[in-house]
Amino acid sequence: MKNSFKKTLAGLFLGACVAFASEAKIHEAQVNHVLHAGSYTYYGIQNGARQYWVVTPRSNLPVGAWMRFKEEIAMPTYESKALGQTFEDVIFTSDFQYRTQEDEAKHLAFITEKVATSPYAQKGTLSIQEAMEKRKEYAGKTVEIRAKVVKASQNIMGKNWIHLQDGTGTGDEVGRIVATSLALPEVGDIVIAKGKVSVDKDFGSGYVYKIILEETVFEEK
C-alpha cells in the first residue's frame, strides 16, 4: 500500500505544474474531519486560521487525534475523482504518526517541582541543568545524563523521542531534554541516557531544540 502511494506521489511530483515544492517540513495538528476514498484517506485539519487536508494511504485516525506528519507533496488544489470533490490546500504524506488525548495521558510523568540538585546524579553523569547551561561546550560530544523518563513518543521520523527530567533546570522552570533513539524506555524509568549533543536543532514547523541528544542509548542503573 505504501509503495503504491509513493508511486502516486511521484506521479504528482512529475506533474507539478500546479504543485509547489516542499522541503520535508514536519507538521502537527488536530484532525477534525475524516473522508475515505478507495485506498486513501483525507483528513481535515484545523491549525489556527488555516483549514487544510492531509491525504494518506487508507488509515483510521479518529476525529480529535493529533497527527504529526512529514510534508511530501503540497498542492494548492487537488481533485478527487473518487469523491467527486475538489480540495483546497492539500498535503500528501506517507510518513505520519498520531496520538489521542487518552494515549498521551498514559505516557506522561512530568516533574513539576524544581530542585537545586538532581537526586539521580552519579559520578560521570550530567544533570539536566548542567547539560542545558553548558550545551555549547558539549555540542558534537557524547555525554551521559541520568534522569527520569517523563514522556515517550514513538516512531516519529523513524525514531523514538524520549523526554528526560531530573527536577533541575534554568531560571524558575523544571528543565527537560529530549533524546532521540531506536530504544524505548518506559515512562517512569530512571535511566542513564548516553547520546550526542546537538544544539539549536531545527526540524522545521517551529520544532527547534536548544539542546537534544541524538543516537541515544539507555541504561537502567
Predicted confidence at residue 97, as pLDDT, reads 78
For 34, half-sphere exposure in the C-beta direction (CA atoms, 13 angstrom radius) is 16
**Nearest CA to 111 among 99, 103, 119, 100?**
119
Q: Per-residue pLDDT tens for 132-145?
A: 999 999 999 999 99
Predicted confidence at residue 202, as pLDDT, reads 84
Confidence of residue 21 (pLDDT cuts 50, 70, 90): very low
In this prediction the pTM is: 0.60
Kind of pairing between the strands at 208-219 and 177-181: parallel
Confidence of residue 68 (pLDDT cuts 50, 70, 90): confident
Q: How is the chain split into domains, by residue range?
A: 2-100, 107-219
| Rounded CA separation 216/221 (Å) | 15
CA–CA distances in Å: residue 107 to residues 60, 158, 180, 192: 21, 19, 16, 19
pLDDT greater than 50 at residue 61: yes
Predicted confidence at residue 13, as pLDDT, reads 47
Q: 110 by DSSP, 3-state: which?
A: coil
For 189, half-sphere exposure in the C-beta direction (CA atoms, 13 angstrom radius) is 17
pLDDT above 70 covers a percentage of the chain that reads 84
* Within this chain, domains 2-100 and 107-219 share the same CATH topology: yes
Predicted confidence at residue 158, as pLDDT, reads 77
CATH of span 2-100: 2.40.50.140
Mean pLDDT computed over 190-204: 92
User: Each residue of 130-152: b (16+ CB within 10 Å) or e?
Assistant: bbbbebeebeeeebbbbbbbbbb
Mean pLDDT computed over 44-56: 89
Round the CA-based radius of gyration of the chain to a whole number and report it.
Answer: 20
Partners of residue 75 on adjacent β-strands: 90
CATH of span 107-219: 2.40.50.140
Confidence of residue 15 (pLDDT cuts 50, 70, 90): very low
Catalogue the E-assigned strands of 126-207: 142-156, 159-165, 177-181, 190-202
Predicted confidence at residue 9, as pLDDT, reads 57
More reliable by pLDDT, 100 or 16: 100
Predicted confidence at residue 19, as pLDDT, reads 46
pLDDT greater than 60 at residue 1: no
